[in-house]
Amino acid sequence: MILSIITVNLNNRVGLERTLRSVLAQKDRAFEFVVVDGGSTDGSTDVIRTHAAAISWWVSEPDSGVYAAMNKGTSAAKGEYLLFLNSGDWLVDDEVVGRLRRAVETRKDVYYSNLVHIEDQSLPATDFPKVLDVNFFANGCINHQNCLIRRDLLVRSGGYDERFRIVGDWHFFLKAFRSASVSSEFLEEPIAFYEGGGISSQGKHEDRRLAEIAEAFRDVFGDLAPSMQEFYDYKHSVFGNTVGLFGYTKTLDFILRTYRYLARRLSFLKSGRKYPAL
């Protein structure tokens, strides 16, 4: 089996129905379909049972979070490549599986495409670089709805670290591209529409998200974590966004980095706290 599509769901019956229909509409049927439900109480299991004949394996039981569910799906899957298409997301057309099966003939570790917005499909897709490396993942991430991962790579990495409730997929990519020679290939055709609205996009969880980012840096980079954190903070600050808005130049980047450093140092000095190492 080349391809396993894994759908994780919790109390998203409407979204689950949409996801299942997009998967079952595929013209190329040479794939495995795994559904992991976290013990939903909104009728999601009725949707699963309705389509059970076309689902290779499914379960509905409580779990500790989305990454625990994704690990459960990984354990159940038998495909060489995994596509995590969570409930609410859907494949862009009925020929996605056929395109993916042809793409993986090059046997890369990760295949990925740009992200297409569900909210307004007329918006330009979110563009990702044509080459992935640890430098990209140090301040960004691809979406698991729009990438294939070689199952062996995920298993050898220990799966998704369930300590993380929000940034587990980013932590996996950061660790994989930091510690191993991981091959990847950009796909011109998008894979899926992304529903959004998950825990990582909810403002009320921002403190936890930032804490998990700091923990991920410590886990992957050890003593280099403070420097990597500073780089991440800069890229996601108004200064880093300014560079992105006007285009990267060494002069502008240097000026903004220096200004931000001095402003932050002055703030720490006024507060009486010790300025963290860069």
Same domain, 175 and 57: yes
Q: Structurally, how many domains does the chain consist of?
A: 2
56 occurs within a structural domain: yes
- Asked if residue 189 is part of any domain, the answer here is yes
276 pLDDT band, cuts 50/70/90, is very low
pLDDT at 149 over 80: yes
Q: Are residues 261 and 184 part of one domain?
A: no
In single-letter form, the type of residue at position 20 comes to L
Give the residue among 144, 146, 148 at the shortest CA–CA distance from 167. Answer: 144
Same domain, 19 and 104: yes
In degrees to the nearest 10, what's the CA dihedral of 241, 247, 251, 256? Answer: -10
272 pLDDT exceeds 80?
Answer: no
Whole-number average pLDDT of the chain: 85
Give pLDDT, residue 105: 97
Residues 173 and 273 in one domain: no
- Is residue 150 one of the residues assigned to a domain? yes
- Say what the alpha-carbon torsion angle 131, 192, 14, 44 is, to the nearest 10 degrees: -70
Identify whether 232 is part of a domain. Answer: no
Residue predicted with more confidence, 134 or 200: 134
Q: Is residue 212 part of a domain?
A: no
| pTM confidence score | 0.83
Q: Is residue 226 domain-resident?
A: no
* 192-215 pLDDT tens trace: 998 765 554 445 778 999 999 999
Check: CB of residue 44 under 8 Å from CB of residue 11. Answer: yes
CATH number at 120 reads 3.90.550.10
pLDDT tens-digit map of 55-95: 999 999 999 999 999 999 999 999 999 999 999 999 999 99
Tokens representing 46 are: 């009725």
Query: Do residues 161 and 95 both lie within one domain?
Result: yes
**How far is C-alpha 122 from the chain's CA centre?**
22
Q: Confirm whether 186 is domain-assigned.
A: yes
Write down the pLDDT at residue 33: 98
> Residue 223's CB: how many other CB atoms inside 10 A?
8
Tell me which residue range forms the domain holding 263.
237-278
Do 23 and 153 lie in one domain? The reply is yes
Residue that terminates a domain, selected from 179, 204, 229: 204
Question: 244 pLDDT exceeds 80?
Answer: no
Query: What mean pLDDT comes out for the span 175-194?
Result: 92
Please give the Cα distance from 273 to 278 (Å, whole number). 15
Per the document, the length of the chain is 278
Please tell me whether residue 274 adopts helix, strand or coil conformation: coil
